[in-house]
Amino acid sequence: MDDVVIVGGGVGGTVTANLLAEELAPEIAASKVRIRLITDRPEHIYKPAFLYAAFGRTAPRAYRRPQRELLHPAVELVVDPVNRIDAGQRQVIGESGKSYDYSYLVVAAGARVVPQRTPGLAEAGEQFYTEEGAQRLYKKLQDFTGGTVVVSVIGVPHMCPVAPLEMAFMLDAFFRERGRRDQVELVYTYPINRVHSNPAIAAWAAPELAARGIRTETFFNVERIDPQRKVIETIEGTTLAFDLLIGIPEHEAPPFLEASGLTDAGWVPTDRHTLQVKGHDRIYALGDVTDLPVSKAGSVAHYQANVVAQNLAARLRGRPALARYNGKTFCFIETGADKATYVEFDYENPPQPVPASRWIHWAKLAYNQTYWMTARGVV
């Protein structure tokens, strides 16, 4: 029997497992193939909701579901945090001490934030990249009466590259709706010489930020934060005082991947088209763990899951693996005041944001609901 092991019960792992189970139903029924999804918690969390949670616009029951409910019945679910992958022995070793053999492995373990890498950030900064962070920020925003709010992109790459811009736009709208905008100075900072790593998105976003009176600081590389004085110090030698800091922390792939010798500079080296881990014919990586020059976005993980599932099904049937990932990315961008735009791009074609509208905002909210079908591989 061939064992396909998928590590990670986020969007990438879940979609891969479901597509494979659907496609390989005859082989699974004949006990020729087994599909196991190994994850570290019994619940599936829809991370994009954290942006809305920071403004009190969603509740945990809307962004959490039991992982089992989202999986095809033929997928075996194992909740056992992975400690190590032994690529030589083709085994995944869990915290329980159990080991799981694989014929093919899919690594879809996502990214995590590491605020402790920036001195002072954990003590003095807020963030919305975790559930706890978003809930804490919600309380801070409710109590905030006035002063300087800084949205600072500290670590790049990070999940959802447009989310800090969305946060800045939504903060502007939030304070306007409450009649407090003139008591708040909004500042957005970015480490390179433009407001976003993608030149086309930066060119679109810079005038949008200016039109809302959001001050921008570029070439702004945060070195440390002084929690007592509430001041950000940069590598460039500048300082910026704040009353509320929303810092996007550095990110990394889960540590067990480095311990398994599967990372380079923090991420899993992955072929940009086949999604095989470089040097490992039987291991695939997708979603946020990879080192690919694409957005760490759920849409990317989903498109990549299609490619990996097609190629795995082909290989398990002894056929050539022909599917290729072309860099396809789709992102909605909330622009505040219940409007949004979107971008769609790939390795060859740059993004071109369309004019923001209420329709696109409602489409994003509708997507947040239909996500649960998407994860099942239905749409």
Ligand X SMILES: Cc1cc2nc3c(=O)[nH]c(=O)nc-3n(C[C@H](O)[C@H](O)[C@H](O)COP(=O)(O)OP(=O)(O)OC[C@H]3O[C@@H](n4cnc5c(N)ncnc54)[C@H](O)[C@@H]3O)c2cc1C
Looking at 11-19, 57-65, 114-122, 212-220, which segment touches ligand X (CB under 6 A)?
Answer: 11-19
Sheet holding 231-234, edge to edge: 222-226, 231-234, 239-241
Position closest to ligand X via CB: 10
Site string for ligand X, 35-64 (x = CB under 6 A): ---xxxx-----xx-xx-------------
Q: Is 82 in the site for ligand X (CB under 6 A)?
A: yes
Site string for ligand X, 259-288 (x = CB under 6 A): ----------------------------xx
Q: Is 256 in the site for ligand X (CB under 6 A)?
A: yes
* Rounded CA separation 179/33 (Å): 60
Site for ligand X in 318-347 (CB under 6 A): 331-332
Among 5, 33, 163, 222, indicate the residue that binds ligand X (CB under 6 A): 163
* Rounded CA separation 219/234 (Å): 9
Q: Is 299 in the site for ligand X (CB under 6 A)?
A: yes
* Rounded CA separation 64/52 (Å): 14
Nearer to ligand X (CB atom), residue 102 or residue 256: 256
| Residue 318 bridge partners (DSSP) | none
Nearer to ligand X (CB atom), residue 165 or residue 244: 165
DSSP string, 50-80: HHHHTTT---HHHHEEEHHHHS-TTEEEEE-
Q: Is 81 in the site for ligand X (CB under 6 A)?
A: yes
CA dihedral 274, 276, 282, 286 (to 10 degrees): -110
* Rounded CA separation 341/312 (Å): 35
Among 110, 125, 247, 351, indicate the residue that binds ligand X (CB under 6 A): 110
Count other Cβ atoms within 10 Å, centred on residue 56.
Answer: 14
Contact (CB, 8 A) for 154 and 249 = yes
Task: Say whether 286 sits in a helix, a strand or coil.
Answer: coil
Q: Is 9 in the site for ligand X (CB under 6 A)?
A: yes
Give the interface with ligand X as residue ranges (CB under 6 A): 7-13, 38-41, 47-48, 50-51, 81-82, 108-110, 128-129, 159-160, 163, 254, 256, 287-288, 296-299, 301, 331-332
